[in-house]
Amino acid sequence: MDENRKTPLFDLHVALGGKIVGFAGYDLPVQYTGVLPEHLHTRTKAGLFDVSHMGQCVVAGPSYAAVAQALESLIPVDIAGLADGRQRYGFLTNDAGGIRDDLMLARRGDSVFMVVNAACKAADIAHIRAHLPDGVKLTEVTDRALLALQGPLAENALATLNPAARSMRFMDVIDMALAGVTCWVSRSGYTGEDGYEISVPAAQAEPLAVALLDLPDVAPIGLGARDSLRLEAGLCLYGHDIDDTTTPVAAGLTWAIQKVRRPGGARAGGYPGADIIGAELADAPPTARVGLLPDGRAPMREGVEIFADADAQTPIGRITSGGFGPTVQRPVAMALIDRGFAAPGTALCAELRGKRLPVTVAAMPFTPANFKR
Amino acid sequence: MLKFTEEHEWLRVEDDLVVVGITEHAATQLGDIVFVELPDEGAVVVKDDEAVVIESVKAASDILAPLSGEIVEVNTTLNDNPGLVNDDPIGDGWFFKMSVEDMSQLDEYLDEAAYKKLIG
């Protein structure tokens, strides 16, 4: 069996008492003190996450226009119109309109810096490279770690190391000196909280992490709380809530497709599955991703089937991720269900261990987002 | 008398009933427990039937009936306060009390010294 890879912070995770598990081919901490306290710490103070397993890539070419044009042939978002120093959420699509992966892309001068999911990165890189025109190149960044600092006190914490952190708005991207080295910093994250993602040269990752953890309000946070935080924030987890059979419209991600890329827009279509996604933008597909609140206390996890009522024979969908929300103090879930039942407030049933239990369709996020717009 | 299963349950004989819960080791491994689904009072269970579902923040775990018998009482305080299983697993965090016809079923389980050796 292949051994899992280790991130530049592996020794630190062990020294901090992290419980190490295999995740997407990497040895990473699932928790330090516990999922519940780590989740609540991130929502109230600031949590430091090692997300170095995620793929980091730079796409460069003769001009920004050339890079944007190449990437827009694979990603249905407005990349050409992205201002320098700004970041945007997007996804790679397939010919059926499904999502190959979701990602963040940032304009840094004439190039695009992308962060993709760990489990998809090899396939993403091969796919993108296979479709780039001559002169536009994708380079995988393998010599940098990626840290996320998330929570309402993240700004104060990072500003202690460099006051420039304060001047950034949500989705801004700048180069910033931290722990004596230039980092690529974006004001973003995947917890629903304000915060930063910091791409740092591997050799300086541990000194930077230690400098942050030395601050009174910063604590290390494992993968367990990362999952419960993103779930409460209503954010999709690739391979669970979305995958290569889910279209962006079914997934409720149409906000990420700017008008200029939609039918009638100046750069409409031109990406895999554009016909299908374009048609769905006008005429919604039969399934929809929704939030669900179980009425009772029992958490409902991925795979639980959803029914229109207590007696219905055929499920109308299934939970794609779910669990206990430590901030909302109740179970929360996301599901893909028949769109006819997707209106918030709709009462449905979930079958848990042979029993039909009441659930209610709910708007997401389950906790209000706390971004610095 | 206190006995332990290799699945990290404890069994305590109280008069003619057996009280069942999970050990501190198990509670620590599971992490913060947020929901406990208890069996129905009056349910007749066979050894190794699924008796309790414990949900922690991380995952769901099944607890199997360690003995054959009848569930005569369940710890309903866990419905509102599942965290008792973490706070006091061997006391207030108990799951259910069983009446058991054949108390010799207990003989196969570990005593405290043997259990402590098991968890190292």
- This model of the complex carries an ipTM of 0.83
A327 shares a domain with A214: no
**A341 in a domain, yes or no?**
yes
**B75 in a domain, yes or no?**
yes
Please give the sequence-ordered ranges of beta strands (E in DSSP) within chain A, or none if there are none: 5-6, 19-23, 26-31, 46-50, 55-60, 87-93, 99-108, 111-116, 137-140, 144-150, 173-178, 181-186, 195-201, 218-220, 287-294, 305-307, 317-325, 330-338, 347-352, 355-362
Q: Report in angstroms the alpha-carbon separations of A59 from A53, A125, A138, A170, B50.
A: 19, 10, 4, 23, 53
**A357 in a domain, yes or no?**
yes
Parts of chain A with a pLDDT under 50? none
**Scanning every residue of chain B, which has its alpha carbon at the shortest distance from the alpha carbon of A226?**
B58
Residue A50: per-residue pLDDT = 98
**B56 in a domain, yes or no?**
yes
**B6 in a domain, yes or no?**
yes
> How many Å apart are CA A370 and CA A354, to the nearest integer?
38
**B84 in a domain, yes or no?**
yes
Total of domains in chain B: 1
Residue B31 Cα, gap to closest chain A Cα (Å): 6
Nearest residue, CB atoms, A224 vs list B55, B57, B82? B57
Residue B22: domain span:
2-102
Q: Which of A277, A270, A263, A266 is nearest to A73 (CA)?
A: A270
A210 shares a domain with A359: no
Residue A2: per-residue pLDDT = 62
Residue B59: per-residue pLDDT = 85
Nearest residue, CB atoms, A35 vs list B32, B37, B82? B32
> How many Å apart are CA B12 and CA B106, to the nearest integer?
10
Residue A3: per-residue pLDDT = 86
Cβ contact B60–A224 (<8 Å): no
**Scanning every residue of chain A, which has its alpha carbon at the shortest distance from the alpha carbon of B81?**
A297
* B58, B63, B76: best to mutate for the A interface, most A CBs within 10 A: B58
**A291 in a domain, yes or no?**
yes
**A273 in a domain, yes or no?**
no
- What CATH number has the domain bearing residue B89? 2.40.50.100
Mean pLDDT, rounded, for B69-91: 96
The HSE-up count of residue B5 (CA atoms within 13 Å, CB side) is 19
Residue A181 Cα, gap to closest chain B Cα (Å): 36
**Scanning every residue of chain A, which has its alpha carbon at the shortest distance from the alpha carbon of B38?**
A298
Residue A367 CB partners (closer than 8 Å, separation 6+): A43, A192, A232, A233, A325, A327, A328
**B109 in a domain, yes or no?**
no
Cβ contact B31–A331 (<8 Å): no
Helix axes A223-232, A35-44, angle to 10 degrees: 60
Total of domains in chain A: 2
A297 shares a domain with A223: no
**A327 in a domain, yes or no?**
yes
Mean pLDDT, rounded, for B13-26: 95
Residue A160: domain span:
5-53+143-232
Q: Report in angstroms the alpha-carbon separations of A286 from A247, A251, A303, B78.
A: 11, 11, 19, 41
Cβ contact A31–B31 (<8 Å): yes
A227 shares a domain with A150: yes
pLDDT in tens, A284-320: 999 999 999 999 999 999 999 999 999 999 999 999 9
A147 shares a domain with A48: yes
User: How much of chain B exceeds pLDDT 70, in percent?
Assistant: 100
Nearest residue, CB atoms, B55 vs list A34, A299, A326? A299
> How many Å apart are CA B24 and CA A55, to the nearest integer?
39
Question: Of A186, A216, A232, which residue constitutes the final position of a domain?
Answer: A232
> How many Å apart are CA A14 and CA A50, to the nearest integer?
13
A223 shares a domain with A302: no
User: How much of chain A exceeds pLDDT 90, in percent?
Assistant: 98
| Run of H or E including B53 | strand B50-56
* Residue position matching structure tokens 């929360």: A332
**Scanning every residue of chain A, which has its alpha carbon at the shortest distance from the alpha carbon of B54?**
A298
* Residue position matching structure tokens 């008792």: B84
**B11 in a domain, yes or no?**
yes
pLDDT in tens, B21-45: 999 999 999 999 999 999 999 999 9
Q: Give the angle subtended at the CA of A192 by the CAs of A212 and A218, to the nearest 5°.
A: 15
**B97 in a domain, yes or no?**
yes
Nearest residue, CB atoms, A301 vs list B32, B60, B82? B60
